[in-house]
Every structure is written in C-alpha cells, then in structure tokens.
Chain A
C-alpha cells in the first residue's frame, strides 16, 4: 500500500523555536507538497517541490522554508515558530491520474501547537 508518512501526529513547541516537520513518501513521486489546514479556510499551499533540491513558494510561504535533499523526503521548517502557525500540517505527493489531472496522496497530518 502506497504511503505518505509524517513523522509526528502531534507537536507542541514554544514561540521562537525552530521546528522541523518531516514527510516521507514511498511512491517515487516527483512532486511533493506542504499544506496547512485551518477551519473555514480549507487547505492552503505553503510550498511544493517538483524535483530534488527544487522548490517553489505556494500561497502562504511567509515564515516557512523547505528542504528536499532526497526524492522521497520533503521537510517543512518553521524558522521561528509563532502562535499563528498553530495548525494542522498536511504533506502530499502526487502522480498523474490518467484522466488528465494529478492525484494526491496525503499523509495523516501533524497537528502543531505553538505556545
């Protein structure tokens, strides 16, 4: 069964800490994504990567950075965590669906609380 695995289900961090969220996929997908999910706002794209060491900003990149040193691993970094970054973070990888679009496989999410 194909998988996207996020290293932590729950994290509690202090304001100002540097936070690493890790994501690993076993499907050999080129594209990987980080979204945050907030009630009433849906899923908003933070960053994505279309190849090793390649990355592009999404819609809300401020306060975040990413790293992709290996194809299967995509890390989200909060340089200095703030309370407004308390959220559910979802990692995904994608592959063509055969109907002209891309199908995403999501991890189960990391619920981050910044205190």
Chain B
C-alpha cells in the first residue's frame, strides 16, 4: 500500500523554467512533509519541509505548496538550473508519539534540466 503517491515519474525542463512535482497522501495523521533531493551515487538529502499549519514555504528557488483539504503537496523549483538535475522524493511522517519520525516516501521523480 503506497501511502504517498508522487508524480510525474520523470520530468524534463529547460533551464530557467519551472519544475513542478506533485504528491498526494492518504493518512490524515501525517503532519510533517519533507522533500529530499538525491544526486547519483549519493544518499537523499533534506531539501525543504513543511508542517500543515502553513500553506506555503519558500527557501530560495524552492517552494512547497500544501493543500490540507485535498491531502496534496507539491514542490516548485523556480528558474531551474542544470545543477538541479536529480531525483526528488516527497515524504510524510507523524511528528510525535511512537512514530519515531518514520518517513513514508513517494516513488520519486527524476528531474532533468537541459541547458
């Protein structure tokens, strides 16, 4: 059972364009939504994260948009650069209790930014 569904599986964008990756979740107990970035040969690294008490969070060229009622969140990469080419994973977890911060990941999106 995939509790976090991510799309698209792959994405090609021209330099300077906007990259958009979408995720949908099922478990309403999730209350922490990070995005991870993975370069070839490396493990994923935390990129940006959001809690459901805000609808948007921006860090530089990266923005998370969050729609609690639709149980969806998305990553927007503005002014995409070739160096942004990587695999992106959305994830979700429950912050407290006995969850120990276990992350449930989406399927991943391979982003290619052409120069």
Chain A residues at the B interface, C-beta cutoff of 8 Å: 4, 31, 33, 35, 39-45, 48, 50, 56, 58-59, 90, 92, 94, 96-97, 99-109
Pairwise interchain contact B100-A31, C-beta atoms closer than 8 A: yes
Number of interface residues of B (CB under 8 A): 27
Measured between beta carbons, the chain B residues less than 8 angstroms from A58 are 102
Complex: chain B residue closest to A31, CB-CB: B100
Expressed in whole angstroms, the Cα–Cα distance for A43 and B106 within the complex equals: 7
CB neighbours of A99 from chain B (8 A) = 49, 51
Taking the complex as formed, is B56 at the interface, i.e. its CB lies under 8 A from any CB of chain A? no
In the complex the two chains form, is A104's CB within 8 Å of B46's CB?
yes
Distance A58 CA – B104 CA, assembled complex (angstroms)? 10
Among B41, B51, B89, B93, point to the contact of A42 (Cβ < 8 A): B89
Residues of B within 8 A of A102 (CB): 32, 93, 95, 100-101, 103
Contacts known (A100-B32, A108-B42); A44 close to B101, Cβ less than 8 A: no
Which of B4, B43, B51, B89 has a CB less than 8 Å from the CB of A108? Answer: B43
Q: Please report the C-alpha to C-alpha distance between residue A4 and residue B42 in the assembled complex, in whole angstroms.
A: 11
Selected from A43, A100, A106, the residue in CB contact (under 8 A) with B51 is A100
What are 8 A-B contacts defined by CB distance under 8 Å? A31-B100, A40-B107, A42-B89, A102-B101, A104-B44, A106-B44, A107-B43, A108-B41
Q: How far is the CA of A100 from the CA of B107 in the complex (A)?
A: 24
Known: A4-B43, A90-B44, A106-B45. A101 touches B51 (CB 8 A): yes
Q: What 9 A-B pairs have minimum CB-CB distances, sorted nearest first?
A: A106-B43, A102-B101, A101-B32, A43-B105, A42-B107, A42-B105, A50-B100, A42-B108, A100-B95
